[in-house]
Amino acid sequence: MSPDYRLYLVTDERLSDEALCYVVTQAVEGGVTMVQLREKQGDLRRFIHRGQLLKTILAGTGVPLIINDRVDVALAINADGVHLGQSDMPAEMARELLGEDKLLGLTVESMAQLQEAQSLPVDYLGISTVFATPTKTDTCFEWGVPGLELAQSCSQLPLVAIGGIELANIGQVCATGVAGVALVSAICGAQKPRVAARELLARI
């Protein structure tokens, strides 16, 4: 069965362990189809610990757990996949280590990267960033909706759009035909993550 990328939650590392577990539990109840654990600042122990917490929460839900950046963490906790950036381990090496059964995603930040990625052994591409977002300020390019349409027409691989996506614009993003949308603040920052996820899903 092909993965369901439609509503892809990327976690906010500022959440405490308790808040992280709460958000993910609620978001899954609300219908998120994929969860990525994203930890940029903390140490490796913390990353692994939080990965184990989410593995427990997601067990039996059918929602895959993807680890951001780190193939070793994904292997250590037997997560369902890895999401790489352009400066992480090369996709070929990650695929070699992960085997064929794990999901592998790669962020692309330009048309050139999108085209280059078509021949890589990845399952999907993250299109970053669609809109400017305070959640990630070191981005170099905004695709916008027209850019997303162009990307979609050029890619054989499923695309997951990320950056500044919220209830107000998710409809126009999904209308481009992308396989999914990835969000941090629209769910992690919501008072009621379950309600937020449900409302977002309803617009997809």
Q: Which residues bind Mg ion (CB under 5 A)?
A: 69, 85, 88
Closer to Mg ion by Cβ: residue 13 or 69: 69
**Min. distance of Cβ 146 from Mg ion in angstroms?**
26
Contact in structure between 98 and 81 (CB atoms under 8 Å): yes
CA distance 8 to 130: 15
CA distance 160 to 5: 7
CA distance 53 to 15: 13
Query: Is residue 146 annotated as involved in ligand binding?
Result: no
Contact in structure between 67 and 37 (CB atoms under 8 Å): yes
Instruction: State which residue has the least CB distance to Mg ion.
Output: 85
Indicate the angle between helix axes 44-58 and 17-30, nearest 10 degrees.
Answer: 30
Closer to ligand TZP by Cβ: residue 3 or 164: 164
Closer to Mg ion by Cβ: residue 100 or 138: 138
Query: Is residue 164 annotated as involved in ligand binding?
Result: yes
**Min. distance of Cβ 180 from ligand TZP in angstroms?**
13
Query: Is residue 123 annotated as involved in ligand binding?
Result: no
Q: Which two tokens stand for residue 176?
A: 């481009």
Query: Is residue 80 annotated as involved in ligand binding?
Result: no
- The binder of 176, among Mg ion, ligand TZP, none, by C-beta within 5 to 8 A per type, is none
CA distance 169 to 167: 6
CA distance 28 to 11: 12
Closer to Mg ion by Cβ: residue 70 or 194: 70
Query: Is residue 13 annotated as involved in ligand binding?
Result: no
- The binder of 69, among Mg ion, ligand TZP, none, by C-beta within 5 to 8 A per type, is Mg ion
**Min. distance of Cβ 37 from Mg ion in angstroms?**
12
State the binding site.
36-40, 68-69, 88, 107, 133-136, 164, 184-185
